[in-house]
Amino acid sequence: MSTRVVALGDSLSCGEGVGIHVAPDQTWAAQLTASIPAAGLTQLSVAGARLCDVIDHQLPQALACRPDLATVLVGLNDIIRAGFGPDRFRADLIALVHALSATGATVLVGTLHDPGWTRPVPLTPRLRRHLGERVAIVNDAVRDAVRDLADGRIRLLDVARIGDLCHLGAWEVDRVHPSPAGHRLIAAAAVQALHGTDLPTPAPLPRHPMPLPAGRLARASWILTCGIPWLVQHGGRVAPAAFAMGFDGSTRGEPVHGGHDRGAIQPAAVHPPLRRAYSGFGEHAGKPEVARAFG
């Protein structure tokens, strides 16, 4: 009998970003799946997805898959948008995890790294500090979801505390998305987090030397050909949040999305899976990708 793995989230799981592409078999979700005997992966993560997108578009499809293991890594696109509401984010995340676990699946929920220290773009000390505060809010919500639901099948993937992710070689040229080496580190931490569950025991992942980070020429090329064009096209969506954090440090606000009532996303109330792609915050829209375990 095969183990069904479903990955929900954003570009941190699917490996796609602005000018960034990590091969599907190199993503942490795929490497984790490959470590589990007779496992197959349904990749639902889409670049640019926020928590509301995961609930509205990915959750129905995930529930229809009847997964044995569901992974959730989301929040980075929420914290850079105006209207980020900490209380709503926490409530929606707990509702999402509850809906997945109610099917009997093991749920692996991930925290975020702090992109402020990698400095993907120049940040003022104030903006960097308040970005870190929003990351901390998301991570507290993730840890609360794992603790409050008090279910041994809900496991914490603490990406924020993976020590080797402090090396720039673990990040792509944009310093926002994990490199293949970074994905390996996250996958290895995921294997550790799943020990003691009812799933088949994942095989340990081999360690590899950390590659050198992208050099200045590669960084400059990415900024000119990808970073600046993206900022011109999408800056209006993130500028209000940057202004709010830089001006008064506000980490609160009314959520842009109306939110979800927990009862509305229980498995019995979910509609059949959506068949159309949806547009995320970034450059990409995607359909579910189904793959067997990568050997």
CATH of the domain at 181: 3.40.50.1110
Residue given tokens 């692996």 in the structure block: 108
Backbone angles phi, psi at 115, to 5 degrees: -70, -10
Going by pLDDT thresholds of 50, 70 and 90, the confidence category of residue 173 is confident
pLDDT reported for residue 237 = 57
The total domain count for the chain is: 1
Closest C-alpha to 13, from 29, 36, 33: 29
The answer to whether 223 and 173 are in contact (CB under 8 A) is no
Strand bridging mode 285-286 / 278-279 = antiparallel
Q: Whole-angstrom Cα distance, residue 100 to residue 78?
A: 21
For helices 125-149 and 86-101, angle between their N-to-C axes, nearest 10 degrees = 40
- pLDDT-derived band at 152 (thresholds 50, 70, 90) equals confident
Give the count of beta carbons closer than 10 Å to the beta carbon of residue 223.
Answer: 18
- Hey, which bits of the chain come out as E strands? 3-9, 16-17, 20-21, 39-43, 69-73, 106-110, 154-157, 278-279, 285-286, 289-292
pLDDT at 54: 98
Average pLDDT over every residue of 156-174: 90
pLDDT in tens, 213-243: 777 787 677 667 766 676 666 555 554 444 4
pLDDT value for 17? 80
Residue 276 is predicted with a pLDDT of: 30
Please tell me which residue, 121 or 181, carries the higher pLDDT value: 181
Domain around 92: 3-292
Statement: residue 275 has pLDDT above 70: no
Give 6 or 292, the one with higher predicted confidence.
6
Residue 220 DSSP code = H
110 vs 253 pLDDT, higher one: 110
Are residues 182 and 170 in contact, defined by beta-carbon separation less than 8 angstroms?
yes
Q: Are 205 and 184 spatial neighbours (Cβ–Cβ below 8 Å)?
A: yes
Quickly state the pLDDT bin for 125 (edges 50, 70, 90): confident
Cα–Cα distance for residue pair 83/220, rounded to 1 Å: 32
Number of helices (H), then strands (E), belonging to the chain: the values are 11, 10
Max avg pLDDT among 63-77, 81-95, 235-249: 63-77
Please check the confidence at residue 63 and state whether its pLDDT lies above 50.
yes
Taking the C-alpha atoms of residue 17 and residue 11, their distance in angstroms, rounded to an integer, is 6
Helix axes 125-149, 228-248, angle to 10 degrees: 80
The residue ranking higher by pLDDT, 290 or 152, is 152
